């Protein structure tokens, strides 16, 4: 439904002054600039996620925090924006991190995180201001920016929304940063100019929309729109809303964040007015807000007279369908739009791709539709809609299109699309990348690897497989290189399934750790370049885990203490009298041998001493970066002690008495 009473550009200056909406109206939080930052206009890497690299710094959200947590500027650590230098990360100085923005980086749209443009970081944070009755409306989101050296942060906001699941993107066009966000309750897509303070409604009344799923910085949005039938519009003043009927066909549009006006002249005076309302009064003329460019028009040739919305209609224009077409967006990925197109004459849906940069001078939204003779501007991807779905991953390599999906038998399948309709379902070649991957959910493609998730212990397990090999590479028999193309789990890590998916930047894997004793902080791992090397690292990991089992066969207490050391990386707490006094001498001898990668009581731990360090600690495999709150540090330590260490009962009683 098209909402009425909306202006295309919302220059609500009076309200902005009252609420402090415009940048700077509410002043700035200021603090001493962080050392080491050098201003630059260089582009950021992995922009829009929970980790962004700009020059020599990694900026990251310091763990998953709840939006209901206190969000007082200066007091936030967990969930705040932090940074670590490239040199400290590569040197293993993981605690050498600074808080850049001491506010919660928490929204429920985990397809968008923090965005870096120029010398500023743009983000969403829960509202921290109390209402009149003293309630903090933390389900509201404030969109702000801060300087990358941490010296300045907006006290107010660009825009505030009442739904913390609001989909958003910060994008840049010609040096200006725009906030794109979706008001789903009113079916509106907005663009806020962070320089001028103009909040533009790009479209009202969309049916479905798509941001680029592979590039959060893409300023283009695709969306479908219904077409209102002539002489069906009525305005119901008591509801403050419009009612109308729509055509059986629909339309596809695209709009860029910097749009400020409709590219077409639309006259609604004939057939789109409510004659029961006086001219000039609200609701007399149907409001139509749409600043997009018409990409595909589904009108059929049974329509002899165009509506004001059929912008490319002309006498004699070729239309290959009597009843027309409908469009359903499948996915917008890597700058190309994949969509399901239904010819209403046959009620059959085919999957097509709109190639990147296809729409240009001479484009006609009507003749671009697919015809029976292979005419049109869209490239066919599949006849069936069963596999080329929104959960699939699409890409183009050379002149060929591909898509990857999980089939009904839990196999991960790659399809090379054929250009010939004579090939069934437009399939040139089918390659099984991995079989028996129950519960697999495809995440993304990166540097020749497909990353996907499966169910883990506390969250999701992360797997990867090469997706760019030849068909024969994925056959194990007689293939000396099969190890490189075999699917491999990334250790046994569990990442937070209710937060951002893991991100790969350079050779580092960043993830929100959902394992026990991690409290959902961000961890980093040096990711092996090949799957063969990753499998070898898995063997080392399994060797360590098996060691605990072997020790426990004869020395249960020593095995638990070794497990504690594995997580803590230190025996400082073990050596406290309240713990040390509870162990037999033989247990401590085994523990000492484990820590030193030595031998004792028939156990030889020398194999845990690797060329690149000792594999007897979790830090050999991956490490936490950033700060841990005092509360979380105590919770982690208490849980580890409770799970793995012996403790003098009298010491426990004394501690409980002191607490009381």
Cα dihedral: 269, 273, 276, 278 (round 10) = -50
Q: What is the pLDDT of residue 17?
A: 31
* Stretch among 124-138, 261-275, 560-574 having the lowest mean pLDDT: 124-138
SS3 51: strand
Angle among Cα 44, 49, 54 to the nearest 5 degrees reads 20
Confidence band for 23, pLDDT divided at 50, 70 and 90: very low
SS3 11: coil
What is the distance between the terminal CA atoms of the chain, rounded to a whole angstrom? 61
Q: What residues pair up with 599 in beta bridges, in sequence order?
A: 604
Each domain of the chain, given as residue ranges in start order, spans 182-188+202-384, 533-660
Give residue for tokens 């004394």.
654
Confidence band for 315, pLDDT divided at 50, 70 and 90: confident
360 has a pLDDT exceeding 60? yes
Q: What is the pLDDT of residue 660?
A: 52
Give residue for tokens 């006290």.
155
SS3 609: strand
Instruction: Please compute the mean of the pLDDT values over residues 430-436 and round it to a whole number.
Output: 98
Q: What is the pLDDT of residue 479?
A: 87
Tokens describing residue 588: 């401590």
**Each residue's pLDDT tens digit, 149-192:** 999 999 999 999 999 999 999 999 999 999 999 999 999 999 99
Instruction: Please compute the mean of the pLDDT values over residues 323-338 and round it to a whole number.
Output: 97
216 has a pLDDT exceeding 70? yes
> Considering just the CA atoms, what is the radius of gyration of the chain in Å?
29
Picking from 149, 136, 74, 59, the residue whose alpha carbon sits closest to that of residue 104 is 74
Give residue for tokens 């990991």.
541
392 has a pLDDT exceeding 90? yes
What is the C-alpha to C-alpha distance for residues 660 and 654, in angstroms, rounded to an integer? Answer: 10
DSSP per-residue codes, 110-173: TT---EEETTEEEEEEE---B-TTS-B-TTSEEEEEEETTSSEEESS-SEEES-TT--EEEEEE
Q: What is the pLDDT of residue 372?
A: 67
Instruction: Please compute the mean of the pLDDT values over residues 416-430 and round it to a whole number.
Output: 96
Compute φ and ψ for 43, nearest 5 degrees.
-70, 145
DSSP state of 324: -
Q: What is the pLDDT of residue 477?
A: 85
Instruction: Please compute the mean of the pLDDT values over residues 228-241 and round it to a whole number.
Output: 92
Confidence band for 414, pLDDT divided at 50, 70 and 90: very high
Angle among Cα 243, 247, 252 to the nearest 5 degrees reads 105
SS3 181: strand
**Each residue's pLDDT tens digit, 609-642:** 999 999 999 999 999 999 999 999 999 999 999 9
Angle between helices 630-644 and 556-568 (to 10 degrees): 160
**Each residue's pLDDT tens digit, 471-513:** 999 998 888 889 999 999 999 999 999 999 999 999 999 999 9
Confidence band for 13, pLDDT divided at 50, 70 and 90: very low
Angle between helices 585-596 and 556-568 (to 10 degrees): 40
Q: What is the pLDDT of residue 239?
A: 84
User: Does the pTM exceed 0.85?
Assistant: yes
- Name the helix (H) or strand (E) containing 638: helix 630-644
SS3 589: helix
What is the C-alpha to C-alpha distance for residues 51 and 118, in angstroms, rounded to an integer? Answer: 16
Q: What is the pLDDT of residue 10?
A: 40
What is the C-alpha to C-alpha distance for residues 36 and 31, in angstroms, rounded to an integer? Answer: 15
Q: Which residues of 264-302 are buried (b: 16+ CB within 10 A; e: fewer)?
A: eeeebeeebbbeeeeeeeebebbbbbbbbbbbbbbbbee
Q: What is the pLDDT of residue 335?
A: 96
Name the average pLDDT for the chain. Answer: 93
Q: What is the pLDDT of residue 132?
A: 82
Picking from 143, 144, 77, 139, the residue whose alpha carbon sits closest to that of residue 104 is 77
Tokens describing residue 130: 């109390």
DSSP per-residue codes, 385-416: SSSSSTTSEEEEETTEEEEEEE-TTS-EEEEE
Residue pair 523/509 in contact (Cβ under 8 Å)? The answer is: no
99 has a pLDDT exceeding 50? yes
φ/ψ bin of 228: left (φ > 0), alpha (ψ from -120 to 50), beta (otherwise): beta
């Amino acid at each position: 439904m098209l909402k009425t009473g909306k202006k295309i550009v919302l220059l609500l200056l009076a309200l902005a002054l009252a609420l402090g909406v415009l940048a700077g109206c509410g002043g700035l939080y200021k603090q001493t600039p962080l050392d080491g930052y050098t201003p630059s206009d260089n582009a950021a890497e992995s922009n829009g996620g929970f980790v962004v690299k700009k020059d020599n710094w990694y900026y990251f959200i310091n763990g998953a925090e709840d939006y209901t947590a206190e969000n007082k500027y200066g007091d936030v650590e967990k969930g705040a924006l932090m940074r670590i230098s490239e040199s400290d990360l590569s040197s293993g100085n993981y605690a050498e991190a600074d808080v850049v923005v001491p506010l919660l980086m928490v929204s429920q749209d985990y397809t968008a995180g923090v965005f870096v443009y120029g010398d500023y970081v743009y983000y969403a944070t829960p509202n921290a201001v109390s209402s009149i009755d003293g309630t903090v409306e933390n389900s509201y989101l404030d969109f702000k920016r801060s300087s990358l050296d941490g010296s300045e942060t907006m006290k107010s906001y660009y825009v505030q929304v009442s739904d913390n699941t609001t989909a958003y993107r910060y994008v840049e066009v010609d040096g200006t940063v725009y906030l794109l966000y979706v008001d789903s309750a009113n079916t509106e897509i907005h663009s806020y100019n962070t320089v001028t303070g103009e909040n533009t409604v790009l479209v009202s009344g969309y049916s479905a929309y798509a941001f680029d799923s592979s590039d959060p910085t893409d300023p283009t949005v695709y969306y479908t729109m219904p077409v209102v039938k002539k002489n069906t519009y009525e305005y119901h003043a008591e509801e403050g809303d419009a009612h109308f009927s729509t055509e059986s066909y629909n339309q596809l549009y695209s709009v860029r964040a910097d749009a400020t006006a409709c590219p077409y002249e639309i006259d609604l005076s004939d057939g789109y007015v409510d004659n029961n309302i006086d001219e000039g009064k609200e609701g007399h003329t149907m409001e139509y807000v749409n600043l997009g460019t018409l990409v595909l028009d589904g009108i059929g040739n049974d329509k002899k007279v165009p509506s004001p919305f059929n912008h490319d209609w002309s006498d004699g224009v070729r239309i290959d369908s009597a009843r027309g077409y409908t469009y359903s967006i499948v996915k917008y990925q890597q700058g190309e739009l994949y969509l399901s197109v239904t010819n209403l004459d046959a009620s059959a849906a085919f999957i097509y791709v709109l190639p990147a940069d296809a729409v240009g001078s001479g484009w006609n939204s009507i003749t671009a539709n697919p015809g029976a003779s292979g005419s049109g501007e869209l490239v066919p991807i599949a006849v069936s809609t069963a596999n080329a779905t929104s959960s699939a991953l699409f890409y183009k390599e050379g002149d060929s299109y591909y898509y990857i999906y999980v089939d009904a038998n839990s196999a991960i399948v790659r399809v090379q699309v054929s250009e010939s309709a004579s090939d069934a379902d437009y399939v040139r070649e089918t390659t099984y990348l991995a079989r028996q991957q129950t519960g697999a959910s495809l995440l993304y493609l990166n540097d020749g690897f497909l990353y996907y998730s499966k169910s883990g212990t506390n969250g999701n397990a992360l797997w990867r497989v090469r997706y760019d090999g030849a068909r024969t590479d994925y056959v194990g028999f007689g293939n000396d290189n099969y190890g490189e193309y075999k699917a491999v789990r990334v250790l046994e890590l569990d990442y937070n399934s209710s937060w951002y998916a893991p991100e790969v930047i350079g050779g580092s894997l960043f993830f929100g750790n959902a394992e026990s004793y991690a409290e959902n902080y961000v961890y980093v791992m040096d990711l092996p370049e090949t799957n063969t090397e990753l499998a070898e690292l898995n063997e080392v990991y399994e060797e360590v885990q098996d060691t605990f089992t072997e020790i426990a066969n004869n020395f249960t207490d020593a095995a638990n203490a070794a497990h504690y050391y594995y997580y803590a990386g230190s025996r400082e707490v073990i050596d406290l009298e309240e713990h040390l006094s509870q162990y037999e001498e033989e247990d401590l001898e085994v523990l000492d041998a484990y820590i030193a990668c030595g031998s004792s009581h028939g156990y030889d731990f020398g194999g845990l001493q690797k060329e690149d360090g000792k594999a007897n600690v979790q830090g050999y495999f991956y490490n936490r970066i950033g700060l841990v709150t005092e509360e979380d540090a105590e919770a982690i330590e208490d849980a580890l002690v409770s799970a793995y260490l012996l403790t003098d009962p009298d010491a426990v009683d004394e501690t409980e008495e002191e607490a009381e």
